[in-house]
Structure 1
Amino acid sequence: MTTIHPNNSNATGQLLANKVALITGASRGIGAAAAKLFALEGATVTLVARTESELRKVVDEITAEGGSADYVIADVADAKSIEQAVQTTVERHGRLDIAFNNAGIAIGLSPMIDDKEENFDLIHSVNYKGVWLSMIAEIKAILSTAGSGAIVNNSSVGSFRGNPGLAAYGAAKRAVNSLTETAAIEYGPMGIRVNAVAPGTTMTEMIQRWVSQDPTILKKLNSITPLRRAADPNEVAQAAAWLLSDRASYVTGVVLPVDGGARA
């Protein structure tokens, strides 16, 4: 039996040294935190989102700290748009090694019968179809350039259970788990690992909007979280970085809760 020892050491000790990375939804929240962290850990990072001013701000912050980053404006719900973003990354850097599919949206809390069809379609197109389209483009790029690599999708702890007030959101995130597991099976033999992180309460713009609707919601969420607090976006980014690194070389098909114990 041959034992494979991946080369996860480098001169700097950085987790993602020499990796070419792509991050969707990278202009704010978990995506922006991931972009900064991945660059700090040695990756060359391409940020993808729809708002140029926000992308430019994050890239400027990264480069000011000595990191390597650029951006592409794209809409993950549009196949040609995300394909072009991935291709641009390859053209700029020669290959694609890793990707973090973080882009997603949420609407306000609402009982299912009060949801509007257009909101369901929007959630479906970005949070489910957008991940599917992104993975297709990324897998093709990894196989044709680096030859092997890793992908992490951003799911939610809400994907594991019912979601009162967030029916369409929770269903789309559960679909992401299925895509993650299927891709891990299909492309593991080709050298691509596919995992997901499932954040619990995380201090992003989405949570801030919920708090504006219901000022007591953060206290309620923290009360059912064993660590009794919300996560900082960087804490979710740390989990994604590890899954994308060679240190997780035998981990694939996993949906990792990053939830302060909420699912325990």
Structure 2
Amino acid sequence: MGRLTGKVAIITGAGSGMGAEQARLFGKEGAKVVGADMNVEALQKVVDEIKADGGDAIAIKLNISSPEEWENAIHTAVETYGKVNVLVNTAGVAGPFVAKAHEHDPDEWDKLLAINLKGSFLGSKYAIPEMIKDGGGSIVTISSIAATLGGQGGTGYGAAKAGLIGLTKNIAVDYGKDNVRANVILPGQISTPMSASLETEEAKEIKQFYLNKTPLGHFGDPSDIANAALFLASDESNFITGVELPVDGGVMAN
């Protein structure tokens, strides 16, 4: 039996990178996957892969900063599968890696918070009532080590990711009595399309800076985050809520 058999899981950012890897793994572990992304073409390919592998999944186009689109996504999930048990807030965008406060464009700041923080708030807001109806659930939010460490992604990015920790802890306390758990993963540098800018010749020194701070000496793989998310989504973590889990190659141990 799969570790998520019988559960319905909504995963944002499921069209690529960490979200796609989570969607594939959750499908293999028995979850009915509701993949959400703005890039419907890429998302559909992931959904088709899950189905070809014997899983069950649907694709939903979703702008995570829109309350209306979140309401529709939750409605579609419930209409299709009858419930929502798991929400993985993965979708996000990267800001300028070296954006200091006095250099930060206010519009870019607003964009980072609207997507990286508000998106997870809205997903949680609309998923929690459905989880409560089914006796509980698990919310897994993908933040970043930039939430607690400076110099890991730019001021606006770090501020948004730090907000996810506060969001998670408040949900954990407020809804524990309803058996809704909330935990946050803090990835270090992971090799995804979002981090592709670090592979350019211009970013060579920045990449080496991050590698020098990583005790394991290499960037992580999307599967490293997917495996952590699977554990927190599954019943194996039934007594774990409100925690910050670094998956960072040891950066935060420095």
TM-score range, shorter chain: over 0.9
| Matched residue, 2:228 | 239
- Say whether the 8 Å CA contact 2:22–2:223 is kept in structure 1: yes
Q: Which runs of 4+ in 1 moved over 6 A?
A: none
What TM-score do you get using the length of structure 2 for normalisation?
0.96
Report matched runs for 1:94-113 at 5 Å. Answer: 94-112=82-100, 113=102
1:216 corresponds to: 205
Q: Contact 2:146/2:153 (CA < 8 Å) preserved in 1?
A: no
Name stretches of at least 5 consecutive residues in structure 1 with no aligned partner: 1-11
Whole-angstrom distance in 1 between the partners of 2:237 and 2:22: 17
- Identical pairs, percent: 36
- Equivalent residues of 1:87, 1:141 under 8 A apart: no
Q: Answer whether contact 1:211 1:217 (CA < 8 A) is retained.
A: no
Residues 154-186 of structure 1 deviation map (CA, whole Å, 9 limit, x = unaligned): 110111122366100001000000000000000
C-alpha displacement at 1:215, in angstroms? 2.0
Flag structure 2 segments of 5+ consecutive residues without an equivalent: none
| 1:123-202 alignment, distance < 5 Å | 123-144=112-133, 146-163=134-151, 166-202=154-190
Aligned partner of 1:56 among 24, 35, 44: 44
> What corresponds to 1:263 in structure 2?
252
Q: After superposition, give the CA deviation of every residue in 1:36-67 in whole Å (9 maximum; x if it has no partner).
A: 00001111100011111011111111111111
Q: Return the alpha-carbon distance in structure 2 between the equivalents of residues 233 and 165 of structure 1.
A: 18
Amino acid at match of 1:189: K
Q: How many residues align?
A: 251
Q: For 1:10-21, what aligned pairs fall within 5 Å after superposition?
A: 12=1, 14-21=2-9
TM-score (norm 1): 0.92
Alpha-carbon distance change, 93 to 229 in structure 1, aligned in 2, over 3 angstroms: same
Please, which moves more after superposition, 206-215 or 76-85? 206-215
Q: Verify the 8 A CA contact 1:22 1:47 in the aligned structure 2.
A: yes
Q: 2:152, 2:158 within 8 Å by CA — same for their partners in 1?
A: no
Q: Check whether the contact 2:145–2:152 (CA below 8 A) recurs between aligned residues.
A: no
**Alpha-carbon distance between aligned partners in 1 of 2:105 and 2:237, rounded to the nearest angstrom:** 41
Check conservation: 1:111, 1:164, Cα contact below 8 A: no
